[in-house]
Amino acid sequence: MNDYEKISRSERVAVLLKKELSELVLTHVKDPRVKGVLLTNVIVTKDLREAKVYFSRYDILKNSEDALQDSLEGLNKAGKFLKSKLGSKLNLRNVPVLKFFVDNTYSNISEIDKLLEKLSTDQDI
């Protein structure tokens, strides 16, 4: 068994969806709320019916809750358009339903860094 066969079909589809969705969001979605969006992860269910698409923003200044919520609304509005574009680009019997979620990983990491930095400066005193 080669490396390709060790990876499940849902994982292979997830990688493909992330690649294609990233390109579509960058080049075809004209909604200004979606500008600055970075797709961080895609998880596809085993039956390939649903894809959870996680995103953040690469423009750190706009990584506020309001900007992320606006981006979420923009992506949800573009969801059917993206699904139809994926259907024409990919060789899949059924394109998964796209569900978008804010990825808070980067903001959580920065909060932890700030806490650790504060802790180290408090110990120095």
pTM, two decimal places: 0.80
Q: Which CATH class is domain 3-124?
A: alpha beta
Q: Calculate helix-pair angle for 9-27, 65-89, nearest 10 degrees.
A: 110
Band of the pLDDT at 60, cuts 50, 70, 90?
low
72: burial class by Cβ within 10 Å (0-12, 13-18, 19+)? middle
Output the pLDDT for position 108.
64
Query: Average pLDDT in the 3-32 region?
Result: 90
Provide the pLDDT confidence category of residue 102 given band limits of 50, 70 and 90: very high
Confidence of residue 116 (pLDDT cuts 50, 70, 90): confident
Letter for the amino acid at 11?
Answer: E
Of 98, 105, 82, nearest to 42 (Cα)? 98
Closest CA to 81 of 31, 47, 41, 39: 31
Contacts of 43 (CB under 8 A, 6+ apart): 14, 51, 52, 54
**pLDDT for position 57:** 85
What per-residue confidence (pLDDT) applies to 107? Answer: 64
